[in-house]
Amino acid sequence: NIMKKTRIIIVVSLLMSILACEKENHSDTSENSFDSGGVFILNEGNYSSANSSLSYYNPETDMVDNNVFHKINNVPLGDVAQSICLHNEIALITVNNSGILYSIKVEDAQFQNKINGLISPRYILPINETKAYVTDFMSHEIIVINLKTFEIEGSIYVGKTTENIIMHNGIVYTANWSAYNQTTSNNTIMVINPGTNEVIDSIIVGIEPGAMVIDNNNYLWVLCSGGYMNEERPSLWKINTSNKKSEETLLFNDINSNPTNLCINYEGDSLYFLDDGVYTMSVNDSHLPQTPLIESNEKTFYCMSVNTNGDIYLGDARDYNRNGDVYRYNINGKIISKFEVGIIPGDIVFID
């Protein structure tokens, strides 16, 4: 009996320790204050399940608040949260399958505005204080949003579906990532004049161009997956933004590889991308890296973002059904922390 009681005490103690550890990096949102230096993680959720969510992480305290949008606004976020963008004092969130664009306050995640009836919104790019563009997975138009009234004020016909979008020196670049609902090949970057809302040029790249970044030499880098059916080898393109011409194309060795999530550091001199693990290279390199900075070790890295201090945040979707995890590494690839978030962490942004 003494031995049995001893074992019970040990087991209970272990359980209490585990529960205490799990509570250590979780907090509630009673204060509703999301500080500068914090991190928003947008969790996609499962398609048609309407279980997307928003998490907040404080790297100073190593505390995480999950499902903050629902807890603060008392409504669910929606079906497949696609992307989040910070603009001044607000956060803009596209919810793809629900066809919704939300505006919430950055400081407390309080609901501000909503636009319904979008077809399949993907990414949003603020152009100035009053205008933003929203790309679309199914439509051949980019939607123009008035940020003051939070209403649709027009559209730009581009003739193709659109995905990632970026602006540099007053010119907008958007990627034709998906071949859905179009007969032409999905291998172009469309160039838009935001002053006139017109397509002024296009740039041929590899099939299925995804993420884009601008480096400190004013080059546009485009990562192309090679296509859903592996139509061609994945590729990384270096484009001169002055003449809109490609100056270098780096081909991946394995046609079955799946590079995604191209990022760049704050200084603009180092590129990062996912291909199972995390790879990094200088913007001056003329070859692709062969050895990962961070190995996946059977984790399902699904999204990545690099903070201004060099910390690398990686969203692990795990099995795409359970809650995911976010791993935080330093610039040398050493783990700093790990915390649990919602289902399929898909986008990560940093609060200035």
C-alpha to C-alpha distance for 36 and 41, rounded to whole angstroms: 15
**Is the confidence at residue 42, as pLDDT, over 70?**
yes
Query: Does residue 247 contact residue 239 with C-beta atoms inside 8 Å?
Result: yes
The rounded percent of the chain whose pLDDT value lies above 90 is 89
pLDDT (tens digit per residue) in 164-200: 999 999 999 999 999 998 999 999 999 999 999 999 9
pLDDT (tens digit per residue) in 222-277: 999 999 999 999 999 999 999 999 999 999 999 999 999 999 999 999 999 999 99
**Is the confidence at residue 19, as pLDDT, over 90?**
no
**Is the confidence at residue 27, as pLDDT, over 70?**
no
Mean pLDDT to the nearest integer, 140-148: 97
Tokens of 159: 């003739």
Mean pLDDT to the nearest integer, 3-31: 43
Q: Distances in Å between the alpha carbon of 280 and those of 36, 106, 272?
A: 27, 31, 4
Q: In a 10 Å sphere around its CB, with 0-12 CB exposed, 13-18 middle and 19+ buried, how is residue 106 labelled? A: buried
Q: What pTM did the predictor assign?
A: 0.91
Mean pLDDT to the nearest integer, 31-48: 89
33: how many CB neighbours lie within 10 A of its CB? 12
DSSP assignments along 228-248, one per residue: TTT-S--EEEEEETTTTEEEE
Mean pLDDT to the nearest integer, 68-88: 97
Q: How high is the pLDDT of residue 4?
A: 36
Backbone region of residue 99 per phi and psi (left: phi > 0; alpha: psi in -120 to 50; beta: other values): left
Mean pLDDT to the nearest integer, 282-306: 97
Token pair 């976020």 in the structure block, residue: 77
**Is the confidence at residue 8, as pLDDT, over 60?**
no
The rounded percent of the chain whose pLDDT value lies above 70 is 91
Q: How high is the pLDDT of residue 35?
A: 80
Query: Does residue 102 contact residue 128 with C-beta atoms inside 8 Å?
Result: no
DSSP assignments along 166-232, one per residue: EEETTEEEEE----TT-SS-S-EEEEEETTTTEEEEEEE-SSSEEEEEE-TTSEEEEEE--TTTT-S
Q: How high is the pLDDT of residue 303?
A: 98
C-alpha to C-alpha distance for 158 and 161, rounded to whole angstroms: 8
Ranking 10-19, 143-152, 207-216, 244-253 by mean pLDDT, the lowest is: 10-19
C-alpha to C-alpha distance for 65 and 87, rounded to whole angstroms: 22
